[in-house]
């Protein structure tokens, strides 16, 4: 019997799948695996198939490495202002307000005192959720104050960088000056032989990389993190050459001697504690 002559009762009926609640699954941007979010969180937000390290929020990074209940935030109530009256599709003031409401952060850096393995440190974390972690006056001021407090108290400084944005254009030269300001603060720290450990995560780029992020006595990176000044696409368009495979990954930088170590997220607290113990007792 021809297709069109078949009786109606022979038509195939497709049963509808039960609705799956939203927000339970996540796709790994590296291998494409569909992952159960609870499983990722139990694995410290690392892909169970390819070991891709998902981006963490500032509070998640803090809880990952510090002794439980030891973190005490400082300089929280510092806010950026629209000092240049910057005009775009939306005002800078409106953008800042929206970012604060969306992220719950005052700006792109969180700083404070904490302990790792019982050793007191000054800890700073940049958060790429807030305007891509771009360097503005507040981020520069908070990181500088962290370095100064570390110097005054003679306790090690640890900064975890995850900033994909450069100097914040809405703050013009005031933003660019934060590169020199933070660099000078950590230079004084080095002169006084107070340890500074810098941890680079995905992404650590532009002004943050070109200033305080690469001035550590020890430079640690997470696996497969994007680390560089300008993105590879822009570099290729500028020099009209194809870049080497893996360029600007933490593995490439380690191979070429630009960082000291690559540490998996599950080993970071132990590694950091061992380094701090060495500095404290050497």
Provide block-wise average pLDDT over 10 residues at a time, the chain (282 residues).
51 50 77 85 86 87 93 90 83 89 90 95 92 88 96 95 82 90 94 95 86 93 88 80 81 90 94 93 76
Contact criterion met (CB below 8 Å) for 109 and 137: no
* Domain match, 183 and 203 both: yes
* Domain match, 35 and 60 both: no
In a domain, 10, yes or no: no
Q: Could you tell me which of 171, 165, 169 has the C-alpha nearest to residue 137?
A: 171
* Domain match, 155 and 251 both: yes
* Domain match, 196 and 240 both: yes
∠ CA 208-176-262, nearest 5°, is: 10
Q: Distance between CA atoms of 106 and 99, rounded to whole angstroms?
A: 8
* Domain match, 71 and 49 both: no
Contact criterion met (CB below 8 Å) for 243 and 232: yes
Residue linked to tokens 């507040």: 138
Domain enclosing residue 64, as ranges: 56-281
* CATH at 79: 3.90.226.10
Picking from 35, 54, 73, the residue at the C-terminal end of a domain is 54
Picking from 7, 38, 54, the residue at the C-terminal end of a domain is 54
Q: Distance between CA atoms of 8 and 202, rounded to whole angstroms?
A: 58
In a domain, 13, yes or no: no
* Domain match, 33 and 76 both: no
Q: What is the dihedral of CA 233, 234, 238, 244, to 10 degrees?
A: -40
What pLDDT is attached to residue 3?
45
What pLDDT is attached to residue 114?
96
Percentages helix, strand, coil for the chain (3-state, rounded to 5) are: 40, 20, 40
Percentage of the chain modeled with pLDDT above 90: 43
Domain count, the chain: 2
H-state helical runs in the chain = 37-42, 58-65, 92-103, 137-153, 172-191, 206-209, 232-239, 250-255, 268-281
């Amino acid at each position: 019997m021809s297709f069109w002559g078949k009786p109606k009762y022979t038509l195939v009926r497709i049963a509808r799948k039960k609705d799956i609640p939203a927000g339970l699954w996540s796709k790994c941007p590296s291998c494409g695996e569909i992952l159960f979010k609870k499983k990722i969180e139990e694995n410290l937000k690392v892909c169970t198939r390819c070991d891709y390290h998902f981006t963490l929020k500032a509070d998640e990074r803090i809880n990952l490495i510090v002794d439980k209940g030891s973190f005490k935030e400082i300089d929280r109530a510092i806010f950026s202002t629209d000092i240049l009256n910057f005009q775009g599709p939306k005002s800078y003031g409106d953008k800042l307000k929206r970012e604060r409401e969306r992220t719950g952060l005052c700006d792109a850096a969180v700083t404070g005192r904490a302990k790792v393995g019982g050793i007191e440190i000054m800890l700073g974390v940049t958060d790429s959720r807030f305007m891509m972690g771009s360097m503005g006056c507040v981020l520069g001021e908070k990181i500088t104050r962290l370095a100064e407090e570390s110097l005054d108290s003679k306790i090690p400084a640890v900064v975890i960088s995850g900033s994909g944005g450069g100097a914040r254009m809405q703050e013009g030269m005031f933003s660019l000056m934060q590169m020199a300001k933070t660099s000078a603060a950590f230079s004084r720290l080095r002169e006084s032989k107070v340890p500074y450990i810098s941890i680079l995560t995905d992404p650590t780029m532009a002004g943050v990389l070109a200033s305080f992020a690469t001035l550590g006595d020890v430079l640690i990176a997470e696996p497969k993190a994007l680390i560089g000044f300008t993105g590879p696409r822009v570099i290729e368009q500028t020099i009209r050459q194809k870049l080497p495979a893996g360029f600007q990954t933490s593995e490439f930088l380690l191979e070429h001697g630009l960082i000291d170590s690559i540490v998996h997220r599950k080993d970071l607290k132990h590694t950091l504690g061992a380094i701090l113990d060495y500095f404290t007792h050497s």
